Structure 1
């Protein structure tokens, strides 16, 4: 579609304004992490690395980071297994209720986080507590997996739609067994979708707050919860900005990698 010079300028200005609105607050967080003024005076009177030193030596922040990493990895593994199997079942087989199953799998990502958190909290109290399983890392992993499954499911399903069934048929005609076809034909084609789904699922789990609040219990603190609890403490505000800056970096890397992995060689996306 051909656009006039005026239209291109207007669209460029709107795009620049939107990107500035989204990313300028992130830049302020990064600047405040090295701002020597504890009250975040603007412009900064001096720069310092003292807050970074305090954050890196904070036992609470390190423990919360390790908890977030374990929760993210656990949720990602569950999402990879369940999301991939569900994508294969829905998009490679025809059965009664297939559309309903697909809808129910995708539904958790559309529900408000607080609704999901309340529902999981009630379910865990009803089912797990009588069995002696309290709130902790396990319930956080299960809670995160409920919406991380959707990410993997969508990525794998999108890739499956792009794989021609004739490839598997040709493999079978050449004498390959089903497992050989899966290993040498289907899995290589799905590998980028697996990696992209896993990276996005981990990133989504890593910074989840609402569902974690309802499923973590008193003794489990992920990094986002640690940030939320320390944000109101005046002496911890600069340290929180440092941790938030690290979170920005950790979030950008998997999202960028997932975008590259999900790229279509023809120029499109999955």
Structure 2
């Protein structure tokens, strides 16, 4: 496990700590502020994932489609003094800063980020504000619960997904930042505590064949969307080869004779994982 954690630190790592009293004030702000939560990137999620912007190009908190920019505070950030103070203290070169809320029984499907942005070095930071142990990220065949009290760095060019199985809502502050000397000082000692990471079990051919047959039975009863979601959720249960859940869904539709749906899911795999066709 130690070797796995060391290797995984390039994908996700803990950086500096956050003062717990300030973190509690930020948590209170995130839970009570009247935010214009938006559901964006629908193809990436099961539903139940919402964001609102604190810093962006337009200054409009409802503008949540990420892009390179010189970020400026939104009106929402002006209502969150503890959060604003922390962002100022960090002194980073912000590209975009958001609150992200993931409801119970909600999933962000396996995907990569940043593929549609210019080739400029940037990093994604997470500060968990409100979370629970059933909320975790999966990357590299490992599930990681991002605990509170720390700034986490995620490298989103690696395939990853997020879920919140039981709730309550998981709320993170997410800051996309450009690399500079201030960021490098913050990230000079990345670490990943073994207690936060858990290797997922491998799924052999027999297990996947059983799950595929169960999905086929569901689809034949008319529950096609539920069958697709069951296969998508395998990513959070087993250490699968990249894109394997999408391949299983394409195989499901092929077995049912629906080649249009099979082609659509193959294209979704290429799009979500930023693969070259």
Instruction: Give the structure-2-normalised TM-score.
Output: 0.25
Greater relative CO (CA pairs within 8 A, separation 6+): 1
Please state which structure has a larger fraction of its residues in helix.
1
TM-score, structure 1 as length reference: 0.26
